[in-house]
């Protein structure tokens, strides 16, 4: 069984700001700083990189050189279509002129992806949605979302795009809020080069079973990337892997192995108060440990227990695999 590969968002090594610490948790970080810090994380091989880059005036070729010099690659580019300029939405903004600027911003990310040799371009339309009942025409913002993504995908038929869904934040209710709505949106675009980034934490927030959603997305042929992190379900905490949901993380890793996942697993974390190198290293170590434990689970025994919906038998298999011994004997 091949070892898993790991990546993360370049933002994990940046400056974090919230509405309380408006001066930021730590100093501003340049693109060079973030890449050089990322290179200190053992077994980290690639980054998801925002466009425009954190350092003004830096070319994509210069970023590519920085990555090469630090032994890293670019897994994805993510256009900034959720900043202050897009406070009323990106694809769904009332301004037709701003919606055209969104298309241009995504084009920038596509151009950067070509230079950086990225695997896909990610849509995270965090400002697309609404905050109050009656604030929007629901079908209108849905149609604008579909039309905007379709136009981009059709203009770049050789580029793989992927949506990272999320139920809320920064909008109180986001348009692409969960796996079913996102799959429906992709179906309505009618394009083949649009898929999903399956973020474990966003799925938890949406009230889903992340593994169930992962498998449904994969069954539809739309799984482009798999991300791991953790939260308490009510907010996008972006904690280190398995900080809260141990068994859910194990079954997610089991599912990745079952579908033959060979691309990097990305870690979408925001270590506000932790050292980012230590936090990302811990997540990778945790996944590796849990992956080893999953390999100790007898799949025939697991299938038998699941065929009877025997929850205690399944948990016995999980615990014994974690503890590497028969701590819980069969009944």
Q: Are residues 291 and 302 in the same domain?
A: no
Q: Are residues 201 and 331 in the same domain?
A: no
Q: Are residues 78 and 117 in the same domain?
A: yes
Instruction: Indicate the number of domains in the chain.
Output: 2
Q: Are residues 224 and 325 in the same domain?
A: no
Q: Are residues 55 and 105 in the same domain?
A: yes
Three-state SS for 56-110 is CCCCHHHHHHHHHHCCCEEEEEEECCCCHHHCCCCCCCCCHHHHHHHHHHHHHHH
- Residue 187: inside a domain: yes
Report the relative pairing of strands 173-174 and 129-130 from DSSP bridges.
antiparallel
Q: What is the pLDDT of residue 144?
A: 98
Q: Are residues 210 and 317 in the same domain?
A: no
The CATH number given to whatever domain includes residue 233 is: 3.20.20.150
Residues 167 and 141 sit within 8 Å (Cβ to Cβ): no
Tell whether omega for the bond before 52 is within 30 degrees of 0, i.e. cis: yes
Q: Are residues 183 and 314 in the same domain?
A: no
- Residue 1: inside a domain: no
pLDDT for 300-329, tens place per residue? 999 999 999 999 999 999 999 999 999 998
- Segment 167-190 mean pLDDT: 98
- Segment 89-106 mean pLDDT: 98
pLDDT for 229-265, tens place per residue? 999 999 999 999 999 999 999 999 999 999 999 999 9
- Residue 25: inside a domain: yes
- Residue 18: inside a domain: yes
Q: Are residues 189 and 255 in the same domain?
A: yes
Q: What is the pLDDT of residue 24?
A: 83
Q: Are residues 308 and 291 in the same domain?
A: no
Start-to-end CA distance of the chain, whole Å, equals 31
pLDDT band at 23 (very low <50, low <70, confident <90, very high): confident
Q: How far apart are CA 298 and CA 317, in angstroms?
A: 8
pLDDT for 28-37, tens place per residue? 899 999 999 9
pLDDT band at 20 (very low <50, low <70, confident <90, very high): confident
Q: Are residues 32 and 51 in the same domain?
A: yes
Give the domain extent around 330: 298-331
pLDDT band at 1 (very low <50, low <70, confident <90, very high): low
């Amino acid at each position: 069984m091949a070892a898993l590969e790991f990546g993360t968002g370049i933002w994990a090594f940046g400056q974090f700001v919230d509405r309380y610490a408006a001066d930021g948790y730590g100093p501003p970080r340049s693109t060079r700083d973030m890449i050089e810090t990322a290179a200190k994380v053992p077994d980290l091989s690639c980054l998801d990189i925002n466009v425009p880059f954190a350092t003004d005036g830096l070319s994509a070729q210069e970023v590519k050189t920085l990555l090469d010099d630090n032994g890293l690659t670019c897994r994805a580019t993510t256009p900034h279509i959720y900043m202050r300029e897009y406070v009323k939405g990106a694809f769904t903004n009332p301004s037709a002129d701003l919606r055209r600027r969104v298309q241009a911003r995504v084009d920038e990310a596509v151009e950067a992806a070509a230079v950086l040799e990225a695997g896909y371009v990610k849509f995270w339309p965090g400002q697309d949605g609404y905050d109050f009942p009656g604030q929007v025409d629901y079908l209108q913002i849905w149609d604008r979302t579909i039309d905007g993504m379709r136009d981009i995908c059709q203009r770049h038929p050789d580029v793989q795009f992927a949506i990272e869904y999320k139920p809320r934040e920064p909008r109180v209710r986001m348009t692409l809020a969960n796996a079913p709505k996102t799959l429906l949106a992709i179906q309505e675009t009618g394009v083949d080069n649009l898929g999903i980034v399956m973020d474990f934490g966003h799925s938890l927030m949406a009230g889903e079973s992340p593994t169930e959603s992962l498998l449904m997305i994969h069954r539809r042929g739309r799984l482009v990337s798999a991300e791991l992190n953790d939260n308490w379900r009510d907010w996008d905490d972006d904690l280190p892997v398995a900080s809260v949901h141990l068994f859910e993380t194990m079954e997610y890793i089991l599912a990745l192995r079952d579908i033959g996942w060979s691309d990097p697993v990305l870690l979408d974390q925001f270590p506000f108060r932790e050292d980012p190198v230590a936090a990302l290293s811990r997540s990778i170590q945790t996944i590796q440990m849990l992956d080893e434990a999953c390999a100790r689970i007898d799949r025939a025994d697991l299938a038998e227990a699941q065929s009877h919906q025997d929850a205690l038998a399944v948990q016995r298999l999980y615990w014994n695999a974690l503890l590497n011994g028969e701590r819980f004997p069969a009944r």
